[in-house]
Amino acid sequence: MSAQKPSFPSPDHDHDRCSADAMAHAEQTCRSRVQNFTPIRRQVLQALLASHRPLGAYEIIDALARHAARPAPITVYRALDFLMENGLVHRIESRNAFLACAHDHAAGAMVAFLICEKCNSVGEVPASRVAQSLNEAARGIGFAPKLSVVEITGLCAHCQQAA
pLDDT in tens, 48-70: 999 878 999 999 999 999 999 99
Is there a domain that residue 4 lies in? no
Range with the poorest average pLDDT among 25-29, 140-144, 147-151: 147-151
Give DSSP secondary structure letters for 19-43: HHHHHHHHHHHHHHTT----HHHHH
- Give 13's Cβ-side CA count (13 Å radius): 17
Is there a domain that residue 90 lies in? yes
Is there a domain that residue 32 lies in? yes
Residues 114 and 94 in one domain: no
Residues 80 and 137 in one domain: no
CB burial of residue 154 (10 Å; 0-12, 13-18, 19+): exposed
Is there a domain that residue 63 lies in? yes
Q: Which helix (H) or strand (E) holds 115?
A: strand 111-116
Asked if residue 107 has pLDDT above 60, the reply is no
Report the number of distinct structural domains present in the chain.
2
Q: Is the pTM of this model over 0.75?
A: yes
* Confidence (pLDDT) at 1: 39
Residues 122 and 84 in one domain: no
Range with the poorest average pLDDT among 68-77, 102-111, 138-147: 102-111
Residues 72 and 124 in one domain: no
Out of 74, 102, 130, a domain closes at: 102
Residues 18 and 92 in one domain: yes
Is there a domain that residue 133 lies in? yes
Residues 91 and 126 in one domain: no
Residues in the chain: 163
Parent domain of 149: 105-163
* Confidence (pLDDT) at 131: 84
How many Cβ atoms sit within 10 Å of the Cβ of residue 143? 10
Asked if 114 and 154 touch (Cβ cutoff 8 Å), the reply is: yes
Residues 69-86 pLDDT 10s: 999 999 999 999 999 999
Is there a domain that residue 1 lies in? no
